[in-house]
Chains A and B, each alone.
Chain A
């Protein structure tokens, strides 16, 4: 026997050794070898069945020979025998060309299965593990005990109970406790812990309590913001459709995704989302976007006939479709073979386990910067420490003060601020009907440089209507369901025999259908609907016509042949072929033309005339289709015979209102617009001009016209796209090339799309945009941004929000860094000065607590600046804090420090070194920092021109509350004692207000001066 198992794993299936002779099957049975009891058992049980002629089990070879009454049409063993054997022996029958999926886990066979499984799975029976791609469709159905009609409703219900619902395990995020504990695992907290211990050791129990309080408060705030941010961010991307269509009991029905059971039949049509792993039973030009599973951006073609080997890679299993993928073209039928966690995507998800919140490039940058700053400030702290020691201060005190300074100076709030700003932005956008699916999309939104717009459906309403019919003989205008020839209303069926034929072709070669119930609604794509509608308006009775000419063959418009062909049976036994599509291509298939019903050989002049008409109609921004037919003896006869030209149909897609303003807004915001269309370039030019794609200055409209962009070298295309505003005659598959070319030329690209073919391009684009209602599942599942209200105008909102979020993070950063720097500077000065330090550790911690967190968070909520959509997009490669920003930070913090030191100097002169002077410095520094938040609201406007900026209530509240706390610190005796403050008098108060307020005025004045000189530079 050559068909032994390839390795020495224990066999856990019945292997068909030989079944070539009808009525005889020899199977290898595991455990039968030298097992007489099993032999007797098997023989006695099987002989009971009616179909069985002879059963012979051989304990020496381990083989079982079954002879049975063979049915004529199948070689297979009768189902009853197979079923009995399978239930009896508890393992499936397979042929030696078929394989069974053995999970490559060592533990198999040693431990009982239950022990390996997680508890929630054990309540369900394990799903059959077959390598389904090695089985023929019929075998797959047998295994699953399904049938061509689909499962019965009850069976499906039973299976759901037996195998569990079709749900992927929800990925567990970090638990609340983990998140909370995570707050304590950081360098600042550790340092604070050390200083608390030192405080205790040196007898400062109160200090220790304060430090612990600070840690707790910091952690709680961090926890709360991170928790809500994480919730928002983890909710991203969950946009898989909730229902799907299966065939049960011979009927299509819509069920919830989770109710898909093993053995269910799926009807696959373009755009459908595949709810579970399934084996194809039938397919026609089926292509599936498998990028969620394989990462391959181009659609994979599928074929039910294919039979794979055991080791065929996932991406090459042409007879399988997998959960989470989506159909991009063609159609088919498939039987569900695995659901929920047993699907391929379910397995991957199990492997990945706990998901981490994704980190965007900006967050990474902030993290890195945070680390560098922490090192820097630690260095400074060490410096302060040693200088203090040299000045003869006691070691524990100096240690405390250095650690406090470190804690105050390290911008530990940075990552939290960034994350929560992103999350807040996502929620904010959601309110404005912008659904963000990917976290990096938020910051990319702010840097979009080019937006590629699909003409059809995005810029236009995607409601076509036929406005023009042009036969060889006459041209007919269609207006509101009526037909006019030279401004005279005509009945198309009376005036011209050719028109009659044309209407027949338009009605037959058509994918849409009238909705049942007789109202005017049509089901289908806009073009198809428009064509059907014109036939109906002409008086064609669609159901009757279609009944009389049943469709035999449909050849859809495809990438390589831009026309649709249908073949219909005529009553006289001949065949009627109807063709519609790209005029020039259809014309090339034609030999004859129909002039008022008479056939003539098309002359060169007529061809030229047709192309001229096509050009003219196209010039009116119409979508033009050529229509032809022929009558043949054979079904496929049209390929040889040549067609009869009927005429041209011109349709118009109405531009959405408000698009022109939208394009202008994009241009204002420095975003280039690129229109992508399958139309000919004159149409594209005319639409582009109407939309103002060439900008207000009326730049030349650069058009790239190519039906075969893939023939172009990618680097050449990248060189060409730079100034291009329109791509004409482009098929959806080429959008990917366009996106890649734009990215190659260094652009951040946004791309709109809602078609099933748009998936790859949407995925490749930095921002893939799809419109909510219209977007297919395929498009929605890869898009970064979904505009839920179906309106492209919302994109402006999204971009404004994206830019604002980035701006706000920068504002928070700016604030945190400049205020922390001022603390460091004061302490450095204090150390250099020697003697009593200006701020004690408690005061530093206090400042850290009240000035760092709330104003920074409030800045993150700053409303969009007025000019946010008048600025060019930011440079995606620029650092979030640039070199010039650092200069600014040092200057501003220096001014704040100067203010504080001024107050300190004054107080010291007045009170001498001691608590009184320190108190004034402390008050002045804290208030100056709070006020500095207003400086950080904008780089362009200042408090002097506040009419130009919208108010930020959060900031007012935050600074107000913080200022109140600051006042309480001196007003309430217990707090005052804790912070070692003196009460302050009226003159002190004035000094403090001056020390806090003057830096703000100075900084804002400098901003104003810089801005003016900058403007003058610009004007030169």
Chain B
């Protein structure tokens, strides 16, 4: 798998779920790529660097989301 293919898989899968969910655990992304965590991490790191994905953190847990997705205004019907 190359980076472009990984991006395609992640973006498609995350957009499909975007109505119900905007933040994903690392393991969810690794499953989408069908890779073990370490090789998946290389692709995912690059997607963060390329600003396709962004980190979300509660302080204790980290998650990933498509950049700009999942604002609270959307959840409260203010779009």
Query: Do the two shown chains form a genuine complex with each other?
Result: no
**Which residues from chain A sit less than 8 Å from chain B, CB to CB?**
none
- Interface residues, chain B, with chain A CB atoms under 8 Å away: none
